[in-house]
Amino acid sequence: MAKIKTSFFCQNCGAQSPKWIGKCPACNEWNTYVEEVIHKEEVGVGSWKTKSNDKRASKPQKIKEINFEEHPRIVSDDPELDRVLGGGIVPGSLVLIGGEPGIGKSTLLLQIALMLQKQTVLYVSGEESEVQIKMRAERMPFTSDNCFILSETNTQSIFQHLENLKPDVLIIDSIQTLHSKLVESAAGSVSQVRECTAELLRFAKETGTPVFLIGHITKEGAIAGPKVLEHMVDTVLQFEGDRHLSYRILRTTKNRFGSTSELGIYEMRTEGLRGIANPSEILLTQREETLNGVAIGAMLEGNRPLLIEIQSLVSPATYGTPQRSSTGHDAKRLNMLLAVLEKRGGMRLGQQDVFLNVAGGLRVDDPALDLAVCASLISSYEDSPVSPEVCFAGEVGLGGEIRAVNRIENRIAEAAKLGFKKIIVSKYAIKGIDLGKFNIQVIPVTKLEEMYQGLFTG
């Protein structure tokens, strides 16, 4: 009987060691090594091997002598996905999508599989049966004759079906459920995830087939498995949102073929996910009357301008220590803006409870929202509403000055498109810009005092 070969793997980075060690020398994490069973003669050997008749050059070449043929991207009927991928699905790319349980990862990729009418798509599920996937697909308004479903977890069996079917797109749900016979450890372990991903990576690069992987996440929000998983793939997408709200955000955290600051916004419905072409309209609350403590800010997410609603409530503290609560906004930046308003604006906020909320369930970090946050706080403190026809775009410095923000023309154009009459920006942001081409009044300011006088004393 052959002796069982075991080795120790770091659960954080995937580093290997012949014996247990307390601190990983690769990632410097403590107590992350676990013992797993492997085959000594088959370590690192994948089931998808390069064919012997591969005629690609194996010698070093000068970069100027390499023939470059640009492969056209596969454009789906989902503009939100195409946006975050950089213009479409790249042939031969490996895309990893992570998110919390129940957020809609499987629904999104099944919907994409049904949308690709001209391509043959193989949807491999290790978590659901064919009947369960069919029940979910029946709720969607899409049908396809080229979408094939396979319920399988063994990578060797999957590759046999791939050789017979030769699909144009492969979807794996999920990478943590796959297991390879070449590694004798449980599915979802460090060595299994790494080996299965390596086999799929070789398949994608050698055949030019784009592969989508669904990845589970840990309780800390990171993708489960070794960190090397995110380094191996070409694109990492994060599917975010509150399960109690209907809106979902698809955010890019890594993309070798496009920008890493793009995002797509979806609305979860009974029949599936609906892409939202103009998210500013859903992020602005429809109110029948003007309320105190509400201001509209123009922000950017990647290359996409968004107008979002900032809500605040400032009231005298009745329970001793004043509270500072922020939802969707950086609490430290809120404290900084409160200090600026108290020091530079003369507002007595030391004994006031302050609650700040970003409408729509978004989390924002654009400093251009500082001016909208200050306007919202002043409106609630003074009990005087801000006109619903005014929006803001400017960063507030510690001296109370209004600093310029990038791509101000995109923000102004978005505000004009949504019907706003005025936008208050930094005076230093509009130098050299022809304001006559915008159907909106641009009000330049340099200090918080000018914004206050124009809104609340005029």
Domain boundary among 277, 295, 326: 277
CB burial string 196-223: b at 16+ within 10 A, e below: bbbbbbebbbebebbbbbbbbbeeeeeb
Q: How many domains does the chain have?
A: 3
Backbone dihedral region of 28: left (phi > 0), alpha (psi from -120 to 50 degrees) or beta?
A: left
Q: Which of 219, 251, 277 is the last residue of a domain?
A: 277
Same domain, 230 and 125: yes
Q: What pLDDT was estimated at residue 394?
A: 94
In a domain, 67, yes or no: no
Same structural domain for residues 270 and 308? no
Burial of 54 (0-12, 13-18, 19+ CB in 10 A): exposed
* Residue 14 marked ligand-binding: no
Q: Is residue 66 assigned to a domain?
A: no
Which H/E stretch holds residue 264? strand 263-269
Rounded-to-integer distance, Cα 86 and Cα 81, Å: 9
Which CATH number goes with the domain that contains 250? Answer: 3.40.50.300
DSSP state for residue 74 in the 8-state scheme: B
Domain termination site, one of 252, 277, 302: 277
297 and 441 within one domain: yes
Q: How far apart are CA 24 and CA 454, in angstroms?
A: 59
Q: Are residues 345 and 411 in the same domain?
A: yes
The reply, when asked if residue 432 is annotated as ligand binding, is no
Q: Is 379 annotated as a binding residue?
A: no
Comparing C-alpha atoms, which of 326, 141, 173, 363 is closest to residue 249? Answer: 363
Q: String of b and e for 140-165 (b: at least 16 CB within 10 Å)?
A: bebebebbebbbebebeebbeebeee
First to last CA, the chain: 91
Residue 106, annotated as binding a ligand: yes
Same domain, 151 and 241: yes
The verdict on 248 and 299 lying in the same domain is no
Q: Does a structural domain hold residue 70?
A: no
pLDDT in tens, the chain (458 residues): 456 677 888 877 778 888 899 998 888 888 888 887 765 444 343 455 544 344 444 678 888 887 766 678 898 889 999 989 988 999 999 999 998 888 899 999 999 999 998 999 999 999 899 999 999 999 998 888 999 999 999 999 999 999 999 999 999 998 999 988 887 777 888 888 888 999 999 999 999 999 999 998 877 777 877 777 888 999 999 998 766 677 888 988 899 988 887 888 898 888 889 988 877 777 776 666 778 999 999 998 777 888 999 999 999 988 778 999 999 999 999 999 999 999 988 888 888 999 999 987 778 889 999 999 999 999 999 999 998 899 999 999 999 999 999 989 999 998 998 889 999 999 999 888 888 888 899 999 999 999 988 887 75
Contact 104, 239 (CB under 8 A): yes
Place of tokens 């978590």: 127
Query: Does 242 reside within a domain?
Result: yes
Residue 109 has a CB neighbour count (10 Å cut-off) of: 24
Residue 149 lies in a domain: yes
CA–CA separation, 175 and 127 (whole Å)? 10
Q: Which residue reads 């299994």 in tokens?
A: 192
The verdict on residue 390 lying in a domain is yes
Does residue 272 sit in the same domain as residue 302?
no
Shared domain for 263 and 315, answered yes or no, is no
Task: Say if 380 falls within a structural domain.
Answer: yes
Residues 16 and 126 in one domain: no
Is residue 46 in some structural domain?
no
Same domain, residue pair 110 and 252: yes
* Residue-level pLDDT at 41: 45
Domain shared by 137 and 210, yes or no: yes
Q: What angle do CA 122, 127, 132 make, to 5 degrees?
A: 75
Check whether 99 is labelled as a binding-site residue.
yes
Residue 64 assigned ligand-binding role: no
CA–CA separation, 5 and 226 (whole Å): 21
Query: Domain with 296 in it: what CATH number?
Result: 3.30.230.10
Same domain, 238 and 219: yes
Domain extent for 29: 5-41
